[in-house]
Each structure stands twice: as structure tokens, then as C-alpha cells.
């Protein structure tokens, strides 16, 4: 069967298939439908990437599948561990040789994986390393699942499992809408990874119409809006998506999302020294967000060689206090994995030995 995101003539990617699709696949193979569910349990539930290990399937079918279908795990090209906070960053090589990175983070109540949705990104945010070479291609749902499963394979032997997903790796998830949605539904499969929608966060640079579409899907995932500026004049320079969907339009979509899903919103705000971290800008931000259910997450800039500096702790704290006094709920993100560049396309970039560009001045 031809799956979305899969070129014609290619072997089907079982890793990207949900229960109904695997059941149909099994029937197409002359097997009873429940064999499809068994596949789902092995592939998604137990993160098994070897047909030989699927011992409750008929041996002859297993051997036949093995000879025809690729299921090998993505090669882990590099694995880096932050010794202080236990963050693990995996650089994975996909079947066509492209590299994607996935980060595993430990929380008080379990583990979270940060998933990439594209190889590179076309949005062009001023501070982001993922966008430097543009978008190379979209990832399929199966490739997003493989990232989560690569993390799962390291956890399951220790009796742990993934309980959260954040789509905050490389790429703009809403520019790859169909495959991203397929992946979220797949990760939710009760006999698969069984991750609750409420423990999934989709982060976007602000495609207003896609946010409204997402609001109608009936998946109560947390929406994180990458704001980074309190007005269009500055936001246009930092997040070029603002030219397509200015703040008034974006806030309208965010409001609709919150109303339709009942979910509180997250507003991400990367703190860039002397660019967006003045107390006056905090007041402007508070005005912009008045009446919206949610909180602001202040993120120290990960300095990615793009000529911008992170706000120092004192300026972040001052900004936080202005927001708080204006009645805005605000948190400061822990900088997980800072020592291993666990953010934003940096490991892939180093591996690909992209030439260092000299830092350009802020446009505009
Ligand atoms: N494309 C989506 C999701 C991936 S980026 C988006 O932009 O929302 C996930 C988050 O990391 C976004 O909030 C993004 O603005 C932020 N980010 C990008 N580069 C960063 C950097 N150098 N330091 C800190 N955060 C960064
Ligand atoms: Fe793309 Fe997000 Fe990076 Fe902007 S911050 S360039 S949208 S990955």
C-alpha cells in the first residue's frame, strides 16, 4: 500500500503505520488482521527493529518480511551525554544518509524526547542553527517515530519509557502538517508508545491557518508558540514567519486553539541580549498576551555562532519580574543539555561540517 510521505515503488515503512494500516497490511499479506496488531506491539510498543525477535509471528512470514522490508534501526552516528543533567543527544542517520538529531531529557516524572520534523528548515529565524542550509526535506511519520523509538530502545531495558514528546528539534512541524499529525496519532496508539496527547507539545513559529486547522483535529496537544518579540517590527527581523502571519493574526489563531482544545498555551521567548530583553519590551509583551490562557517560557539563547548573545541571568530575571508584576505567568527554561549543544540543529551542523558563516548583523 502506498503510504503518505513514501515514494512510489518503495517498500512500505511499517514504522510509520498505525494499527488500522498494519491490520490492512497483514491482510494484504494473507495473514489475519490481528497479526497487524502484533506488529504494532513489537514495532511501536517494544521498539523492536528486528523481525527475528517477533517470536509470536509465524516463522516463515517473519523470514519473508525480513527479506523484503527494511526495519533496521537508524544508525546512531553519535551519542553525547550531558554528565550533569543526564540529557542524551542522539545523531541518527536516515536511510538516505540525511542526519537528524533527537534529544532525550529527564524530568522529575519521566523522560521526554525532542523530535525533529524536517531536515533543516526554511523559516529562517535569525538565531536558529537549523535553518542555515535551508530545508533539505520533510521527515515522514515513520522517521519521526524512529527518533522516539531510538530513545525508547535505550530506556526500555532499564524499565523506563518515554512519557513525553516535544516537537522542538529541527524543522517547522506545521510546514510538514500531514506527516506530523500522522506521527502524533501513531505515538498515541494504546498498543504502541501510548503517549497521552496532553503530554505532547507542538512548537511552531506561527502558521496561523495551520494552528486553526490543528484546533479542529481533536488532539489536545499543547501548543507552544515561538513568539520571541512583543511587536511585529522586531518579530519580523527575528522570525520571518511574522511577514506571513503578523502578531494580531497569530494571536487570533492561538486564542482559537485554546478555546477549541481547552488547553493552556505556551509562549516561547528566546532571551537575546539587548535585542528583545528590555523591561519596556516585557511590558509590551504583557499587553499583547492579556486575556490569553497560558504562560511565557523564557529561554536563554543557545549561542549558535550566529552573532547574538544570550541575555545574562540578571536581565532575564528583571524581564521575568516585569512580566510577573503585570500578571503574566512566567517560567525560565532550565538549560538542559547546554554542555552538549543539545539544541537547534547544532550537532548535525557540526557533523556535516557546514562552513562557519561569519555572523551577520541583525537584518532590518
Ligand atoms: N520550528 C518550530 C519548532 C522547532 S524550534 C519553532 O520554531 O517553534 C523549537 C524552539 O527552539 C523554538 O521556540 C525556537 O525558537 C527555539 N530556538 C531556535 N534556536 C534557538 C537558539 N539558538 N537558542 C534557544 N532557542 C532556540
Ligand atoms: Fe525553523 Fe523553528 Fe529554527 Fe525558526 S526556530 S528556523 S521555525 S526550526
Distances (CA, A) of 302 to 174, 310, 333, 339, 343: 23, 7, 12, 10, 7
Which ligand ends up closest to the CA of 124? Answer: 2
**344 catalytic, yes or no?**
yes
Catalytic residue among 3, 101, 143, 189: 101
Mutate to test the pocket of ligand 2, among 117, 122, 205, 225 (most ligand atoms within 8 A of CB): 205
Would you kindly state where each structural domain of the chain is located, as residue ranges? 14-68, 75-353
Chain segment 71-110, per-residue pLDDT in tens: 989 999 999 998 888 899 999 999 999 999 999 998 888 9
Q: Domain 75-353 belongs to what topology?
A: TIM Barrel (3.20.20)
Cell triple for 188: 498515541
Instruction: Determine if ligand 2 sits within 6 Å of the CB of residue 294.
Output: no
Considering the domain 14-68 in this protein, what is its CATH number?
1.10.150.530
CA of 232 to the centre of ligand 1 (A): 18
Instruction: Determine if ligand 2 sits within 6 Å of the CB of residue 128.
Output: yes
pLDDT by position in tens, the chain (length 364): 444 444 445 788 999 999 999 999 999 999 999 999 999 999 999 999 999 999 999 999 999 999 999 898 999 999 999 888 889 999 999 999 999 999 999 888 899 999 999 999 999 999 999 999 999 999 999 999 999 999 999 999 999 999 999 999 999 999 999 999 999 999 999 999 999 999 999 999 999 999 999 999 999 999 999 999 999 999 999 999 999 999 999 999 999 999 999 999 999 999 999 999 999 999 999 999 999 999 999 999 988 778 899 999 999 999 999 999 999 999 998 765 655 555 544 444 444 433 333 334 454 4
**Which residue in 78, 25, 50, 63 sits closest to 347, CA to CA?**
78
Q: State the pLDDT at residue 165.
A: 96
CA of 56 to the centre of ligand 1 (A): 43
Atom 8, ligand 2: residue with shortest CA distance? 171
Q: State the pLDDT at residue 108.
A: 81
**Contact call for residues 322 and 283 (beta carbons, < 8 A):** yes
Mutate to test the pocket of ligand 1, among 114, 126, 127 (most ligand atoms within 8 A of CB): 127
b/e burial code for range 287-323 (CB count within 10 A of at least 16 → b): ebbeebebebbbbbbbbbebebebbeeebbeebbebb
pTM equals 0.92
Q: State the pLDDT at residue 208.
A: 98
Amino acid at each position: 500500500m502506498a503510504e503518505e510521505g513514501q515514494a512510489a515503488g518503495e517498500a512500505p515503512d511499517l514504522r510509520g503505520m498505525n494499527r488500522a494500516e498494519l491490520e490492512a497490511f497483514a491482510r494484504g499479506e494473507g495473514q489475519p488482521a490481528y497479526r497487524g496488531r502484533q506488529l504494532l506491539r513489537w514495532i511501536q510498543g517494544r521498539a523492536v527493529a528486528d523481525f527475528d525477535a517477533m517470536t509470536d509471528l509465524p516463522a516463515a512470514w517473519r523470514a519473508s518480511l525480513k527479506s523484503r522490508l527494511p526495519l533496521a534501526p537508524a544508525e546512531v552516528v553519535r551519542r553525547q551525554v550531558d554528565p550533569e543533567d543526564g540529557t542524551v543527544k542522539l545523531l541518527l542517520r536516515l536511510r538516505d544518509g540525511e542526519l537528524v538529531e533527537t534529544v532525550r531529557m529527564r524530568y522529575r516524572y519521566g523522560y521526554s524526547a525532542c523530535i525533529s520534523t524536517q531536515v533543516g528548515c526554511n523559516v529562517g529565524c535569525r538565531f536558529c542553527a537549523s535553518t542555515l542550509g535551508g530545508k533539505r526535506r520533510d521527515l515522514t511519520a515513520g522517521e519521526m517515530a524512529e527518533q522516539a523509538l531510538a530513545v525508547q530502545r535505550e530506556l526500555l531495558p532499564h524499565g523506563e519509557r518515554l512519557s513525553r514528546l516535544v516537537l522542538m528539534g529541527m524543522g517547522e512541524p506545521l510546514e510538514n502538517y500531514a506527516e506530523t499529525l500522522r506521527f502524533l496519532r501513531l505515538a498515541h496508539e494504546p498498543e504502541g508508545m501510548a503517549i497521552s496527547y496532553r503530554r505532547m507539545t507542538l512548537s511552531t513559529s506561527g502558521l496561523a491557518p495551520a494552528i486553526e486547522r490543528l484546533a479542529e483535529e481533536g488532539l489536545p496537544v499543547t501548543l507552544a508558540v515561538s513568539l520571541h518579540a512583543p511587536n511585529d517590527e522586531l518579530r519580523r527581523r527575528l522570525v520571518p514567519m511574522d511577514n506571513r502571519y503578523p502578531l494580531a493574526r497569530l494571536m487570533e489563531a492561538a486564542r482559537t486553539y485554546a478555546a477549541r482544545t481547552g488547553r493552556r498555551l505556551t509562549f516561547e521567548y528566546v532571551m537575546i541580549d539587548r535585542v528583545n530583553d528590555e523591561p519596556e519590551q516585557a511590558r509590551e509583551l504583557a499587553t499583547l498576551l492579556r486575556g490569553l490562557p497560558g504562560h511565557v517560557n523564557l529561554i536563554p539563547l543557545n549561542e549558535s555562532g550566529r552573532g547574538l548573545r544570550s541575555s545574562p541571568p540578571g536581565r532575564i530575571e528583571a524581564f521575568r519580574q516585569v512580566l510577573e508584576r503585570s500578571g503574566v505567568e512566567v517560567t525560565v527554561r532550565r538549560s538542559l543539555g547546554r554542555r552538549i549543544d543539545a539544541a537547534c540543529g547544532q550537532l548535525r551542523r557540526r557533523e556535516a561540517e557546514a562552513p562557519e558563516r561569519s555572523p551577520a548583523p541583525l537584518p532590518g
